[in-house]
C-alpha cells in the first residue's frame, strides 16, 4: 500500500489537520505579522499569551471542518471576533472564509439556522467594533459581510454539484441495471427457445424408435441431457435477476458483515475481520455493493483456497466505503481454472456504475486480493 492509498484511507479529520496546522504557523512568520484580516482601524496589539488562544480558536477547528462543520464555524468565528476586538489581526483570520465554505458544503441540517446565527453574530461584532471606534463605516462592514456570504454561497454551490453528481451516478446505475435485465431477458428467451425446441424434436423422434431399445435409450438420454442443461442455464439467469443473487436462504441481511464472516468461519475458512467507521444507512447502494464484494471474495476463498487464511477489512469513511479481502496461499484464485470469473466481473461493473474502483488479482507473493472503493455520501 503506497502513501497516497494510505492517505486516502485515513480519517477525514487527519486529512484536514495539515490545513489547520498551516493556519497555526502562519502568524509566526515574520512577514505576516500585522498583515491579517482587519475590520476597521483599531491599533495593532503586540502578540501576547491571549494571542495563542485566539490563533488556536481560529485555526485548529479547521481539522473538523468536514466532520463537524457547525462546530468548526462557531469556534473559528469566536476566535475571529476576539482577534478583531483586541486588534491582533493575525493571519489566522483567513480561516473564517474557509470555515464558511466548509459549512456551506458539508452542513446537512439546520443550514438556515446556522446562516441566521452567524449573521446575527456578525451584527454584534459590528456593534462592538463601532463602539470601540474602529472607523470602518457601513460600507466596509457591508462589503466584508458580502464577501463572507459569497464564501458560504460557494460552499452551497459545491454541495449542489455533489448532489447532482450523486443523482447522475444513481441514474447511470439504474440505467445499467435496466440494460442488464433486458439483456438477461433476451438470453432467457434464447435459452428456453433453444432447449425446449430441441427437447420437443428429440421426444418426437423417440416415438419412431420404440422398436429399437438402444436407439430409444439414446433419444431419451439426449432429452434428459438437454433438460439438465436447460435447468442449469435457467438457474444462472434467474440468479442474476434475483436482487439477492448469490445468497442462500437464511443468509444475513446486506450490511451484516460480521454474520457473513462468521458463516464463512463455520464452513472451515479462517477469517480475520476488521471494520472501521459507521455504515452509511442512507446510502444503501454503496453498502450493498461493499457487502457483495466481501461475499463474493469469501465465496471464492472457500471454493479455491479452502483452509487458507483470509483477511477482510471494511472501512466506512465520510465519502466512501473501502473493502479489501486478502486470501493467502499459492493456489488462491478468483475463479476456477478456465472459468470466466463472472462473479468478479459483475462486481466490477456494479462498483464502476456507482463511480467507484474495483481491483482483483493474484498477489506477487502468492494468494489473491480483492479490493474496492465505493463513493458514499458527499464530501469535498
* pLDDT for res 174: 87
Q: What is the mean pLDDT of residues 222-237?
A: 73
Residue whose grid cell is 451516478: 169
Q: What is the mean pLDDT of residues 159-173?
A: 90
Helix axes 69-86, 49-59, angle to 10 degrees: 150
* pLDDT for res 125: 92
For residues 240 and 248, what is the distance between their CA atoms, to the nearest angstrom? 14
Contact (Cβ atoms closer than 8 angstroms) between residue 173 and residue 165: no
Task: Examine the pLDDT at 257 and tell me if it is beyond 90.
Answer: no
Contact (Cβ atoms closer than 8 angstroms) between residue 290 and residue 370: no
- Least confidently predicted of 133-142, 265-274, 353-362: 265-274
* pLDDT for res 194: 60
**Where do the structural domains in the chain lie, given as residue ranges?**
3-135, 253-380
Task: Examine the pLDDT at 330 and tell me if it is beyond 80.
Answer: no
Residue 267: band (very low, low, confident or very high) from pLDDT cuts 50, 70, 90: low
Task: Examine the pLDDT at 379 and tell me if it is beyond 60.
Answer: no
Residue 236: band (very low, low, confident or very high) from pLDDT cuts 50, 70, 90: low
Average pLDDT, the chain: 81
Task: Examine the pLDDT at 51 and tell me if it is beyond 50.
Answer: yes
For residues 227 and 338, what is the distance between their CA atoms, to the nearest angstrom? 24
- Find out if CATH 3.30.565.10 is the number for domain 253-380: yes
Task: Examine the pLDDT at 282 and tell me if it is beyond 70.
Answer: no
* pLDDT for res 251: 40
- Write out the DSSP string of 25-54: HGGGSGGGTT-S---S-PPPPPP-HHHHHH
Provide, rounded to the nearest whole percent, the portion of the chain with pLDDT above 70.
Answer: 83
* pLDDT for res 326: 93
For residues 320 and 286, what is the distance between their CA atoms, to the nearest angstrom? 8
195 vs 17 pLDDT, higher one: 17
Contact (Cβ atoms closer than 8 angstroms) between residue 13 and residue 77: no
Task: Examine the pLDDT at 340 and tell me if it is beyond 70.
Answer: no
* pLDDT for res 204: 73
Provide, rounded to the nearest whole percent, the portion of the chain with pLDDT above 90.
Answer: 31
Contact (Cβ atoms closer than 8 angstroms) between residue 293 and residue 358: yes
Task: Examine the pLDDT at 331 and tell me if it is beyond 60.
Answer: no
Q: What is the mean pLDDT of residues 316-340?
A: 69
Q: What is the mean pLDDT of residues 361-372?
A: 86
- Least confidently predicted of 34-38, 42-46, 181-185, 251-255: 251-255
For residues 138 and 321, what is the distance between their CA atoms, to the nearest angstrom? 49
Q: What is the mean pLDDT of residues 32-54?
A: 82
- Least confidently predicted of 197-206, 248-257, 324-333: 248-257
Amino acid at each position: 500500500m503506497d502513501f497516497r492509498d494510505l492517505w486516502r484511507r485515513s480519517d477525514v479529520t487527519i486529512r484536514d489537520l495539515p490545513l489547520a496546522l498551516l493556519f497555526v504557523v502562519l502568524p509566526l512568520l515574520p512577514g505576516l505579522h500585522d498583515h491579517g484580516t482587519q475590520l476597521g482601524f483599531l491599533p495593532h496589539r503586540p502578540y501576547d499569551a491571549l494571542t495563542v488562544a485566539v490563533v488556536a480558536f481560529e485555526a485548529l477547528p479547521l481539522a473538523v471542518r468536514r466532520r463537524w462543520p457547525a462546530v468548526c464555524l462557531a469556534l473559528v468565528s469566536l476566535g475571529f471576533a476576539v482577534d478583531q476586538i483586541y486588534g491582533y489581526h493575525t493571519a489566522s483570520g483567513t480561516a473564517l472564509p474557509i470555515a464558511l465554505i466548509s459549512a456551506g458544503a458539508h452542513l446537512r441540517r439546520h443550514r438556515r439556522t446556522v446562516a441566521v446565527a452567524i449573521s446575527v453574530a456578525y451584527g454584534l461584532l459590528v456593534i462592538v467594533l463601532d463602539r470601540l471606534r474602529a472607523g470602518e463605516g457601513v460600507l466596509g462592514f457591508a462589503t466584508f459581510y458580502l464577501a463572507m456570504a459569497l464564501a458560504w454561497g460557494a460552499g452551497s454551490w459545491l454541495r449542489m454539484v455533489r448532489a447532482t453528481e450523486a443523482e447522475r451516478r444513481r441514474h447511470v446505475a439504474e440505467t445499467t441495471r435496466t440494460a442488464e435485465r433486458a439483456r438477461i431477458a433476451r438470453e432467457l428467451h434464447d435459452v428456453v427457445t433453444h432447449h425446449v425446441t430441441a427437447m420437443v424434436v428429440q421426444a418426437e423422434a423417440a416415438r419412431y424408435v420404440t422398436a429399437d431399445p438402444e436407439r430409444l435409450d439414446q433419444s431419451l438420454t439426449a432429452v434428459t441431457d438437454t433438460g439438465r442443461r436447460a435447468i442449469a442455464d435457467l438457474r444462472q439467469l434467474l440468479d442474476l435477476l434475483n436482487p439477492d443473487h448469490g445468497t442462500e436462504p437464511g443468509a444475513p441481511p446486506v450490511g451484516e458483515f460480521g454474520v457473513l464472516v462468521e458463516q464463512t468461519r463455520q464452513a472451515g475458512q479462517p477469517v480475520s475481520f476488521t471494520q472501521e467507521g459507521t455504515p452509511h444507512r442512507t446510502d444503501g447502494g454503496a453498502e450493498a455493493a461493499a457487502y457483495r464484494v466481501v461475499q463474493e471474495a469469501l465465496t471464492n476463498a472457500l471454493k479455491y483456497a479452502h483452509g487458507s487464511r483470509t483477511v477482510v477489512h471494511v472501512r466506512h469513511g465520510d465519502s466512501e466505503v473501502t473493502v479489501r479481502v486478502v486470501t493467502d496461499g499459492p493456489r488462491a484464485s478468483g475463479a476456477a481454472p478456465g472459468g470466466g470469473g463472472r462473479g468478479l466481473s459483475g462486481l466490477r461493473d456494479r462498483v464502476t456504475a456507482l463511480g467507484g474502483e474495483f481491483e482483483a488479482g493474484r498477489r506477487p507473493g502468492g494468494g489473491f486480493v480483492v479490493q474496492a472503493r465505493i463513493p458514499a455520501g458527499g464530501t469535498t
